[in-house]
Amino acid sequence: MDARRAAILEAMGIDRFVARAPLVEPLSSPSASVQSTGPVVAPATPSGVDDLDVASLDWDALAGQVATCTRCALAAGRSQSVFGGGDRAARWMIVGEGPGAEEDRAGEPFLGSAGQLLDSMLQAIGLRRPQVYMANILKCRAPGNRDPHPAEARCCMPFLQRQIELVDPGLILCLGRIAAHSLLGVETPLGQLRGRVHELKPLGRKVVVTYHPGYLLRTPGEKRKVWADLQLAMETARGQRA
């Protein structure tokens, strides 16, 4: 482990000796496909809710639809929608729950302390924010940062699904319970979703689930689990490139 990566892990509160297996090689290195406990196949959206036709929209048209969307009541309270950001041809896509107050003001995803921790998480595996694409289940902030209502998540899901199609990532890193349940269409506890590779149907994307950085700020003892999840994500992404 080089000194830079060790410093990043130390900043995350993770000891250098935590990993029980050797660190995975960089994304560009050839490797066998990742071993997991078996894929969990789930629909990209809950059935019967995608009544918005965005399948033919390009990036600009899709962003315009999100900016003017009034499909649910959240539109009335937003400063602006938060479409997403990053490399639109990235091999990694990060999916979170929804924008907070800072994101609502700036129109950018994953800002503030949670965003800084996410940056450190990515740096620990050799990635930087401009190398990934980041988006949320919700495109508008929920009042008081409450959990999204299922109907709100369903309204936004066609936008996210089209973003996934346009990015065409090799791996989706899903952050937190709300994002995982909405994206995978399941209600399985987060602890049971971790540690294995999921397959997002019908898009055919590999998904690894871990804790949201906002949760880690409140529960730093879980950072060791996230480090294991990031290693699994690295192995999965490497296998997708092989």
Question: 3-class DSSP state for residue 86?
Answer: strand
Is residue 92 within 8 Å of 236, Cβ to Cβ? no
CA–CA separation, 158 and 182 (whole Å):
12
User: What is the pLDDT confidence band of residue 178, given thresholds at 50, 70 and 90?
Assistant: very high
Per the structure, the complete domain to which residue 218 belongs is given by 3-14+37-241
Give the domain CATH number at 84.
3.40.470.10
Residue 24 in any domain: the answer is no
pLDDT value of residue 239: 85
Q: Is the pLDDT of residue 50 over 50?
A: no
CA–CA separation, 168 and 113 (whole Å):
28
Residue 148 in any domain: the answer is yes
CA–CA separation, 42 and 196 (whole Å):
14
Tens digit of each residue's pLDDT (9 = 90 or more) over 194-232: 999 999 987 789 999 999 999 999 999 999 999 999 999
Residue 22 in any domain: the answer is no
- What H or E segment, with its residue span, contains residue 199? strand 198-201
Axis-axis angle for helices 177-184, 150-167 (nearest 10): 70
Q: Which of 112, 164, 168, 114 is nearest to 135 (CA)?
A: 164
Residue 20 in any domain: the answer is no
Pairing of strands 133-136, 85-86: antiparallel
CA–CA separation, 38 and 197 (whole Å):
7
CA–CA separation, 46 and 27 (whole Å):
32
pLDDT value of residue 52: 77
Q: What are the residues facing 192 on neighbouring strands?
A: none
CA–CA separation, 127 and 26 (whole Å):
10
CA–CA separation, 106 and 120 (whole Å):
21
CA distances to 11, 101, 126, 131, 147 from 121, in Å: 10, 22, 9, 13, 24
CA–CA separation, 196 and 168 (whole Å):
21
Q: Is the pLDDT of residue 85 over 60?
A: yes
Q: What is the pTM of this model?
A: 0.81
Q: Is the pLDDT of residue 44 over 60?
A: no
Greatest Cα-to-Cα distance within the chain, rounded to the nearest angstrom? 51
Q: Could you tell me which residue, 203 or 86, shows the higher pLDDT? A: 86
Amino acid at 184: L
CA–CA separation, 233 and 169 (whole Å):
13
What does the mean pLDDT of the chain come to? 84
**Tally of domains within the chain:** 1
Tell me: cis bond preceding 202? Omega within 30 of 0 counts.
Answer: yes
Is residue 103 within 8 Å of 135, Cβ to Cβ? no
Q: Is the pLDDT of residue 102 over 80?
A: yes
